[in-house]
Amino acid sequence: MSGRIVSATDDAIGEAAALLRDGRLVAFPTETVYGLGADAANADAVRRIFVVKGRPADHPVIVHLANANAVAEWAREIPAAARALADAFWPGPLTLIVPRAAHVHGIVTEGQDSVGLRVPSHPVARALLAAFGGGIAAPSANRFGHVSPTTAAHVAADLLDKPALILDGGACDVGIESTIVAFRGDVPLLLRPGAIALADLARVLGRVPLVAERDAPRASGTLASHYAPRTPASLLPPDVLRAELAQLVERDEAVAVLARMLTPPEDFDGAWIAAARDPAGYARDLYAHLRALDAADADALLIEDVPQEPAWLAVRDRLTRATHGEDDDRD
């Protein structure tokens, strides 16, 4: 049997660890999104991740570790600032890009001199890492070009029976991918905003990290086209959204709306979801909402803009990508 969704009991976690040792792929929950895991020390197994996702091989993958001590096995050097972030935020939704150890396979790092490392906090991810004993290479468990999965059912919808096992640990709490900080030169670089606020990174680092340009070459997750639904989507201020909606409805177009403060017009019969008003709640359900609205097969998806405030940085980043669908380069 393959592609089973199983409740993440101790037995299932033990079986998943055995499958990983066998070079098979296992999908598992983390606090951010579900990952598609392979033994990071097995190049063939990691290569299969790319095939299953339909993702080009020129994107590095994150190696997940059971605890911060394991970093020494994967990084040849850990800058003091990276160590400080690890102490402050691991286990948790933070990925550190650090100089790689010599043995790390090129398929994991895309042949680069750096490796992405993360110690997740989700109890199932931690139990799986402990049972497996090594590093687990895992990108988000979605098909390339789709939004990340935040439930086991999302994984199955995207990857069908390709993973040998899908461990079901319920819906992810954070809901968007980890914050990524790279240590290449002297100044830490925020490659991807996530649940950890810029101000909290700055407090630990003693300085505000540089924020990467949106199409910085080494983090494909920063290309504008990632995390996109299939329905043509636009991000609009509330008043503009209301006007656009009226026009589309007038033209008999099917519209789906991800609202936040707005309420639906009285006669509206399209798909409408009211998202949470706070950034953490909004992020938690964002991808599930995008999937649900995408499934409505509307002609247009209108997304109500979120506040221009630092607390919304990561959500705004994902929304901006979701509404730039032309590119075909997506993780």
Interface positions, 212-241, toward ligand TXA (CB under 6 A) = 218-221
- Looking at the Cβ atoms of 128 and 233, the one nearer to ligand TXA is 128
- Looking at the Cβ atoms of 101 and 248, the one nearer to ligand TXA is 101
- Looking at the Cβ atoms of 212 and 245, the one nearer to ligand TXA is 212
- Looking at the Cβ atoms of 67 and 247, the one nearer to ligand TXA is 67
List Cβ neighbours of 125 (8 Å cut-off, separation of 6 or more): 28, 29, 30, 31, 35, 64, 169
With tokens 């407090």, the residue in question is 203
Q: In degrees, to the nearest 5, what angle opens at C-alpha 34 toward C-alphas 287 and 276? A: 30
Binding partner at 25 among ligand TXA, Mg ion, none, C-beta below 5 to 8 Å by kind: none
CB atoms within 10 A of CB 170: 13
Cα–Cα distance list, 98 to 175, 275, 323 (Å): 25, 36, 31
* Nearest distance in Å: CB 215, Mg ion: 16
* Nearest distance in Å: CB 167, Mg ion: 18
Binding partner at 218 among ligand TXA, Mg ion, none, C-beta below 5 to 8 Å by kind: ligand TXA
- Site mask for ligand TXA (CB under 6 A), range 76-105, x = bound: -------------------x-x--------
* Nearest distance in Å: CB 239, Mg ion: 33
Cα–Cα nearest to 129, from 225, 229, 39: 39
Q: Quick one: DSSP state of residue 282?
A: H
* Span of 27-35, 70-78, 274-282, 312-320 interacting with ligand TXA by CB under 6 A: 27-35
Tell whether residue 331 is a contact of Mg ion (CB under 5 A): yes
- Contact between 40 and 101 (Cβ < 8 Å): no
With tokens 């990084």, the residue in question is 75
- CA dist., res. 149 & res. 32, Å (int): 9
Interface positions, 46-65, toward ligand TXA (CB under 6 A) = 59-62
Radius of gyration of the chain (CA): 20
Number of residues that bind Mg ion (CB under 5 A): 2
- CA dist., res. 169 & res. 34, Å (int): 9
Q: Using CB under 5 A as the criterion, which residues of the chain lie in contact with Mg ion when the complex forms?
A: 140, 331
Q: Using CB under 6 A as the criterion, which residues of the chain lie in contact with ligand TXA when the complex forms?
A: 30, 32-33, 35, 59-62, 95, 97, 109, 112, 114-116, 118, 138-140, 177-178, 180, 191, 218-221, 331
